[in-house]
Amino acid sequence: MSLLSQLINAWTEPHRHYHSLRHLHECLQTLDRWGKDVAARHEVGIALWFHDAVYDPTRDDNENKSARWAVEALKDVGATEDAAQRIGKLIRATRHSSPGAQARATRVGGLELMLDIDVAILGAERARFDEYECQVRLEYAHVADESFARSRADFVAAMLRRIRVYRTDVAHSELEARARDNLLHSLRNLRRP
């Protein structure tokens, strides 16, 4: 089976509701808009194809497994060790709850763009944002409502505490205000008794 077929099969697993081909498609469209002048845009594009390729909502090592798959697959098709490792670092950094992974990748070109693309959904139009919220809840159906609401509220509150939700100027100017509005809306819903 070709690498492309393996990736598509991974992205279309039945337990995926948000982390699906639609998310990948939205990420790649955003890269087309925001990444035109970014030297590392091709590496970011490859990293996006792999960043949620391994996705099991019951585990916390998805980014590491996705990065390992990417590094091995890229070396198999002739990528240099350096390029494969840079792409692996981009993928690992998308574990947004892990500042260590992001800090280790700070010298990787395209890092800020990669991270902003991955959370661009936070600044989507309200209907799409609400759909995303429902899709994430479906992926975590195995978690009790109270536990889910608490941990999701922690994530949302952490995003709101940032000085900027988005690191790049293009994402910040396009999505920051709407993302903050969406996140506040989400937090109110999650904290509703």
Q: What is the pLDDT of residues 53-112, one digit of tens each?
A: 999 999 999 999 999 999 999 999 999 999 999 999 999 999 876 454 455 545 678 999
Give the integer Cα–Cα distance in Å for 124 and 60. 26
Half-sphere exposure of 23 (CA within 13 A, CB side): 27
| pLDDT at residue 107, rounded to an integer | 60
Segment 99-141, tens digit of pLDDT: 544 555 456 789 999 999 999 999 999 999 999 999 999 999 9
- Listed in sequence order, the residues at least 6 apart from 45 whose beta carbon sits closer than 8 Å to its beta carbon are 28, 31, 35
Distances, alpha carbon 191 to alpha carbons 122, 125, 145, 157, 187, in Å: 18, 22, 12, 11, 6
pLDDT beyond 60 at 177: yes
Domain ranges of the chain: 1-118, 123-193
Tell me the average pLDDT across 130-156. Answer: 97
Interacting residues of 135 by C-beta distance below 8 A, sequence separation 6+: 17, 18
Task: Estimate the crossing angle of helix 81-93 against helix 41-51, to 10 degrees.
Answer: 60
In angstroms, the CA 177 to CA 137 distance is: 24
Q: What pLDDT digit, counting tens, does each position of 18-64 carry?
A: 999 999 999 999 999 999 999 999 999 999 999 999 999 999 999 99
The two tokens of residue 136 are 């994430």
pLDDT at 101: 45
Q: Per-residue b/e over 35-56, b at no fewer than 16 CB within 10 Å?
A: beebebbebbbbbbbbbbbbbe
